[in-house]
Amino acid sequence: MPLRRVVFVCVLWVCIALTSLRAEEPRSFSAQGRRGAIASVHPLATQAGLKALRDGGNAVDAAIATAVTLGVVDGHNSGLGGGCFILIRSPEGETIAIDGREMAPGAATADMYLRDGKAVAELSQTGPLAVAVPGAIAAYELAARKCGRKPLSRTLDEAAQLADVGFPIDRVTARNIREHRDEIARFPATAAVLLKANGMPLVEGDRLVQADLAHTYRQLAEQGSAALYRGAIGKQIAAWMAANGGLITEIDLANYVALEREPLVTTYRGHTIVGFPPPSSGGVHVGQILNILKAFDLKELQQRDPALLIHVVAEAMKLAFADRAYWLGDSDFVPVPRGLVDNDYAKQLARRIRLDQVTVVDDHGWPPEWDTRHFKKHTTHIAAVDEQGWWVAITTTVNTSFGSKVIVPGTGLVLNNEMDDFSAQPGMPNAFGLVGSRHNEIAPGKRPLSSMSPTLVLRDGQPVMALGAAGGPKIITQVVLAIIRFIDLELPLEQCLAQPRWHHQWRPDRLYVEQALADSVQQRLREMGHELQVIQAAGITQVVARTADGRFLGVHDPRIPGLAAGLD
Ligand code: GLY
């Protein structure tokens, strides 16, 4: 073994040991640094990002190192068998939006999940038919080539060593394996990684070693993404799909490209909000909800009655999600009106919101120029920033926990079930309860609509915050809540993430509130006419920001054991 690798493995062991010890201690969920900051949902992934910064990489390298490491240590949320959206702001002020969203295979059809005229959720959520062509590695490669300072091959090689050495799984991963044991058991290569020889799930503290995944990462390190899209890994996937009723072929893999999109820019109370355009619905609806909220003095509402603030924001969410269900889809295939983020349209929607009771929203609205002016075309979020002025927001996913549950033998890659983010049948809810129209119906080569919302916030032309979240449609609403708490309520960043959240997505017509929300406030909301559903957590948010004294602050969501780190 070369000396560099021996030293790296020894350091890795120490990091893993310290991480397991620290997991027992109460930990702050924020950290500051003069030279940079990073936040993710897993300590080992954040440490990989920090190492990239220390090794002379920039925030783009750090975010990518964190993302590929999450594919090893947090595979139920994300990995190279899935997709991502990357938003980068360069020191020169250029914003780059890279679309690594998965793509429907060439043989996919609008009715592929219908049996006897009804969509069968099982088919779009578990097993070979659920898998769309992965895009994450193509996007990381493009981002590293365009903006990075560190070779992606080295980053992948370091993550491969972690997969080989193994690490003790945390309670979140253990819970996810336990909850999906039966589906995992259906796929022998997945079971071989996540279950014990007796078929029981790995539990917290068990060491997870992924030799096949390490081999895959090394092939990608040596050959680049071509190893997946035109090489041995792709051949293994296509052969398995052909033998097991899946659709993905070698041609589908060879056809995949990560795309650069035009970022979606809106404004909010003197700030510029840079969001991700379709096939994300995030940029459109974060912008739309904030536009609607411009009609209200949120701080005054909060002071008058906290329930009133929740009500108004929930009504804005409801109106936006009614539009999402009808208008949104992959803008390379269907017209998505730019008018959705028009300020006059937002004013018109805001006038429908009453302060004393819920508004009945039966259908979507009609944004201006809807027929002519269009965009041209369980998840995790990473936020990173450095002293050179790179700001990065990456949201990445395999969709629901462990995606399709398929690991193709020999690859170690958990394959996504992103086909479920298409609308399998108009009006039929997907795994997140979201309904869609023909705009989001399945077509070959189309990218399923996403809620992933990597977002940058600028003031006076300078970035002040990079953020994003996990949680399906709750991503959009959490990003909105973090922004209004930061800008309108002027809360410390930790409180922007820690305070109880709420969520409305139009259908079902229900207001979701976190259990930490005071009973008295919940009661007031019921009196206004909201049907409440109390949930444990409305998603997971990560953010980095600039402090008043010019330092960088990283905050991870306190709802799970992630890690924020700063570099001094
Ligand atoms: N798979 C969740 C999303 O992209 O919204």
Predicted confidence pLDDT, tens digits, the chain (568 residues): 565 665 555 555 555 444 544 444 446 899 999 999 999 999 999 999 999 999 999 999 999 999 999 999 999 999 999 999 999 999 999 999 999 999 999 999 999 999 999 999 999 999 999 999 999 999 999 999 999 999 999 999 999 999 999 999 999 999 999 999 999 999 999 999 999 999 999 999 999 999 999 999 999 999 999 999 999 999 999 999 999 999 999 999 999 999 999 999 999 999 999 999 999 999 999 999 999 999 999 999 999 999 999 999 999 999 999 999 999 999 999 999 999 999 999 999 999 999 999 999 999 999 998 888 888 547 999 999 999 999 999 999 999 999 999 999 999 999 999 999 999 998 888 988 888 899 999 999 999 999 999 999 999 999 999 999 999 999 999 999 999 999 999 999 999 999 999 999 999 999 999 999 999 999 999 999 999 999 999 999 999 999 999 999 999 999 998 999 999 9
Ligand 1 atom nearest to CA at 451: 5
| Residue 464 and residue 520 in one domain | yes
Catalytic-labelled residue, pool 216, 249, 379, 455? 379
User: Helix, strand or coil for residue 114?
Assistant: strand
Cβ atoms 479, 470 nearer than 8 A: no
User: Helix, strand or coil for residue 563?
Assistant: strand
Nearest CA to ligand 1 atom 3: 450
| Residue 422 and residue 281 in one domain | no
Counted domains in the chain: 2
Q: Considering only CA atoms, which of 394, 433, 393, 416 is closest in space to residue 125?
A: 416
Q: Phi, psi at residue 173, to the nearest 5°?
A: -65, -45
Cβ-based burial of 126 (10 A; exposed 0-12, middle 13-18, buried ≥19): buried
Q: Is residue 420 part of a domain?
A: yes
Q: Which of 440, 461, 492 is the last residue of a domain?
A: 440
| Residue 225 and residue 313 in one domain | no
Q: Is residue 524 part of a domain?
A: yes
- The CA distance from 61 to 88, in Å, is 11
| Residue 254 and residue 272 in one domain | no
- pTM (2 decimals)? 0.95
| Residue 221 and residue 324 in one domain | no
Cβ atoms 109, 52 nearer than 8 A: no
- The CA distance from 61 to 518, in Å, is 42
Residue-wise burial string across 521-547, b where 16 or more C-beta atoms lie within 10 A, e elsewhere: bbebbeebebeeeeeeebbbbbbbbbe
Give bridge partners of residue 414 from the DSSP assignment. Answer: 407
Cβ atoms 512, 504 nearer than 8 A: yes
The residue type at 519: D
Distance 472 CA to ligand 1 centre (A): 5
Q: Is residue 59 part of a domain?
A: yes
pLDDT of residue 11: 53
| Residue 228 and residue 278 in one domain | no
Q: Is residue 32 part of a domain?
A: no
Q: Which of 377, 411, 440 is the last residue of a domain?
A: 440
Q: Which of 440, 467, 495 is the last residue of a domain?
A: 440
- The CA distance from 367 to 386, in Å, is 39
| Residue 436 and residue 459 in one domain | no
HEC string of 75-101 equals CCCCCCCCEEEEEEECCCCCEEEEEEC
Tokens read off for 506 = 């139009």
Tokens read off for 523 = 């009661």
Q: Running DSSP on this structure, what letter comes out for residue 329?
A: S
Kindly list the distances between the CA atom of residue 406 and the CA atoms of 388, 392, 553, in Å, as whole numbers in the listed order: 41, 30, 38
| Residue 134 and residue 254 in one domain | yes
Ligand 1: which of 475, 477, 505 to mutate, judged by most atoms within 8 Å of the beta carbon? 475
Residue-wise burial string across 459-477, b where 16 or more C-beta atoms lie within 10 A, e elsewhere: eeeebbbbbbbbbbbbbbb
- The CA distance from 539 to 126, in Å, is 22
Q: Phi, psi at residue 458, to the nearest 5°?
A: -120, 145
Ligand 1: which of 131, 380, 432, 477 to mutate, judged by most atoms within 8 Å of the beta carbon? 432
Tokens read off for 508 = 């079902």
Residues of the domain holding 141: 54-260+396-440
Q: Phi, psi at residue 406, to the nearest 5°?
A: -90, 125
Distance 197 CA to ligand 1 centre (A): 33
The residue type at 322: A
Ligand 1 is surrounded, with C-beta below 6 A, by 379, 397, 399, 421, 450-452, 472
pLDDT of residue 2: 62
Q: Is residue 33 part of a domain?
A: no
3-state SS of the chain: helix, strand, coil percent to 5? Answer: 40, 20, 40
Q: Is residue 475 part of a domain?
A: yes
Give bridge partners of residue 391 from the DSSP assignment. Answer: 89, 385
pLDDT of residue 370: 83
Dihedral class, residue 270 (left if φ above 0, else alpha if ψ from -120 to 50, else beta) = left
Ligand 1: which of 440, 452, 476 to mutate, judged by most atoms within 8 Å of the beta carbon? 452
Q: Is residue 91 part of a domain?
A: yes
The beta strand positions in 358-420, using DSSP E, are: 380-386, 391-397
| Residue 346 and residue 253 in one domain | no
| Residue 108 and residue 189 in one domain | yes
Ligand 1 atom nearest to CA at 395: 4
pLDDT of residue 24: 41
Tokens read off for 104 = 């429907």
| Residue 320 and residue 350 in one domain | yes
Ligand 1 atom nearest to CA at 418: 1
CATH number of the structural domain spanning residue 292: 3.60.20.40
Cβ atoms 382, 392 nearer than 8 A: yes
Cβ-based burial of 55 (10 A; exposed 0-12, middle 13-18, buried ≥19): middle
Nearest CA to ligand 1 atom 4: 450
Active site residue 267: no
The residue type at 378: H
- The CA distance from 275 to 262, in Å, is 10
Q: Running DSSP on this structure, what letter comes out for residue 540?
A: E
Q: Is residue 23 part of a domain?
A: no
- The CA distance from 122 to 524, in Å, is 39
Residues in the chain: 568
Distance 478 CA to ligand 1 centre (A): 14
How many other CB atoms sit within 10 Å of the CB of residue 318? 25
Ligand 1 atom nearest to CA at 281: 5
Ligand 1 atom nearest to CA at 399: 1
- The CA distance from 45 to 162, in Å, is 10
How many other CB atoms sit within 10 Å of the CB of residue 360? 9
In sequence order, which residues have a C-beta less than 8 Å from that of residue 192 and are 6 or more positions away? Answer: none
Tokens read off for 430 = 């997907």
Distance 132 CA to ligand 1 centre (A): 13
